[in-house]
Amino acid sequence: MTIAARKIRLIMQLRRAGINDTDVLSAIERIPREAFVPESFLDQAYEDLALPIGQGQTLSQPQVVATMTQALRADRRLKVLEIGTGSGYQAAVLAQLCRRLYTIERHRELLSVAEERFARLRLHNITCRAGDGSKGWPEQAPFSRIIVTAAAQELPAPLLDQLAPGGILIAPIGRPGAMQELVRMSRRDTGFTEESLGQVRFVPLVEGPTSVGGARKTAIEAAVDAQRTGS
């Protein structure tokens, strides 16, 4: 099956899963997911799977990316903050839908590769920073939308503080290694309202100094390797 056919199959799967925002589907269709996966996983680029990208991090499965993007309700007028650049795939999708995207990644190696991908795809409305995502980006606040692609047991206060009135924040909440709750927080004049969007599983949001050097292979990566080798 060709890459084009696999992409069409994935878009149809997303439609059946309840992704009905045509702008979101078009953005996913335009972005080449194969440009964001390691070479050894190219044959799985358009499967609805999470894939390892190194540094103990993963590229989220397309349905999760689509669900979070649709729930964010971004549009071309808005400024968006992403916590956890990772491979850059979620950022690339969002860049099709917003005016300006600011993205933070604690692993400098991953961020460097993601920036190269953005340049190749001519995504010029993305601004990147290496740092602790739990602190947000106060110099650019407030943000109309914030998306967090790593799980915390509770939302860091700086992120809530940096959400503009009328803004929306999407994040997974829960313990590392367990199923987490994907929540949508909306900021109203009277405070925040919270809505559950279902269960997900994300790598943990780690606060504190950014890491240096490589990370040990995660259980997810090991499982994928075992699957590929048949062990």
Question: Of the listed 40, 60, 144, 196, which one is catalytic?
Answer: 60
The per-residue pLDDT for 231 is 29
Instruction: Determine the average pLDDT of the residues in 140-162.
Output: 96
Q: What is the pTM of this model?
A: 0.88
Angle, vertex CA 73, rays to CA 35 and CA 139, nearest 5: 80
For residue range 30-83, list pLDDT tens digits in order: 999 999 999 999 999 999 999 999 988 999 999 999 999 999 999 999 999 999
Q: Kindly tell me the burial class for residue 153, based on how many C-beta atoms sit within 10 Å of its own C-beta (0-12, 13-18, 19 or more).
A: exposed
β-strands 79-83, 57-59: how paired? unpaired
The per-residue pLDDT for 132 is 96
Phi first, then psi, for residue 80 (nearest 5°) are: -120, 140
Q: How much of the chain is in helix, strand and coil states, percent to nearest 5?
A: 35, 25, 35
DSSP class per residue in 109-151 = HHHHHHHHHHHHTT-TTEEEEES-GGG--GGG--EEEEEE-SB
The per-residue pLDDT for 224 is 36
The per-residue pLDDT for 207 is 77
40 is catalytic: no
The per-residue pLDDT for 84 is 96
- Taking Cα atoms as reference points, which of 128, 132, 159 lies closest to residue 146? 159
Q: Which of 51-55, 143-147, 223-227 has the highest mean pLDDT?
A: 143-147
Q: Which CATH architecture has domain 3-229?
A: 3-Layer(aba) Sandwich (3.40)
- Asked if pLDDT for residue 97 goes beyond 80, the answer is yes
- Taking Cα atoms as reference points, which of 184, 94, 79, 89 lies closest to residue 139? 79
The per-residue pLDDT for 177 is 79
For residue range 9-30, list pLDDT tens digits in order: 999 999 999 999 999 999 999 9
- Show me where the domains of the chain are located: 3-229
